[in-house]
Amino acid sequence: MLIKKVLVALGVTIAITGVLVFSITGSADPNLAKTKVASSEANYPLYKDLEEVEKASSVVVVARYQGERENYEVKPAGLPGVTLSKTQVHVERVIKGDLEKGKKLTVYEEGAIVKGTYVNTEGYKWMDKKGEYLLFLRKISDEQAFAIVGIYQGKFDLSNHSKKQAGETITQLTAALSDQEVEFLGDAQDFERFTKLKDQAVKKYQE
């Protein structure tokens, strides 16, 4: 496992923070057709294969997003705030962890609408109602909530068999946000890593 070290544009996110303070800043998913996209960078683990992702996960589930989502602001001590999405998912299958099928689960996603722009970390694209998601999660402190392991490296849409890239221009990324075939908004190198991990995950876990 490597660590990607870059300048953090919007502060240290939930991927690496310890002490967090949350506050509600909004709710409801907007019409994404004309929503601009902006990505921030973070220091986070780079997993070489699915086995490393599994080892970093305390919970692995297949779940669906059913429309419940709020914006939450994360304020690490002494650092700038970052807005995440606090998302409710419905658990359809439990692969790892002490959870029950049919329950709701709170997952923090590293993407949210901020002043009309979808601001994400490292190309993360949030869950939508049409997807069936294989999630590799880790529990957050004492909360009954979870973060996705490795930002984009722990969320795979089992219903999406396309390997369509988002592109890199503002116009391409804006279109990609509402494109059901695009699952990840990151650059070509990270897309290659994402695709490799997803191929391994689908081969092992898709029924």
3-state secondary structure of 184: coil
The pLDDT score that the predictor gives to residue 20 is 39
The pLDDT score that the predictor gives to residue 169 is 87
The pLDDT score that the predictor gives to residue 168 is 86
Residue 30: pLDDT band by 50, 70, 90 thresholds?
A: low
Write out the residue range of the structural domain in which residue 157 sits: 2-205
The tokens describing 104, both together, are 């709701």
44-50 average pLDDT score? 92
The span from the CA of 111 to the CA of 83, in Å, is: 7
DSSP string, 55-97: HH-SEEEEEEEEEEEEEEEE--TTS--EEEEEEEEEEEEEEES
Residue 39: pLDDT band by 50, 70, 90 thresholds?
A: confident
| Per-residue DSSP letter, 143 | S
The pLDDT score that the predictor gives to residue 29 is 53
Render pLDDT for 168-179 as a digit per residue (tens, 0 to 9). Answer: 888 899 889 989
What pTM was estimated for this model as a whole? 0.84
Residue 22: pLDDT band by 50, 70, 90 thresholds?
A: very low
pLDDT over threshold 70, residue 117:
yes
> Which residue do the tokens 């929503």 mark?
35
Which range, of 21-25, 47-51, 185-189, averages the lowest pLDDT? 21-25
Render pLDDT for 53-85 as a digit per residue (tens, 0 to 9). Answer: 999 999 999 999 999 999 988 777 777 778 899
Contact partners, residue 61, CB within 8 Å, separation at least 6:
89, 91, 92, 93, 94, 95, 96, 97, 99, 105, 134, 135, 137
Count of the separate structural domains present in the chain: 1
Q: Rounded mean pLDDT of the chain?
A: 84
The tokens describing 114, both together, are 């901020």
DSSP string, 14-46: TTT-SS--EEEEEES----TT-EEEEE---EEE
Burial level of 79, CB count in 10 A (0-12/13-18/19+)? middle
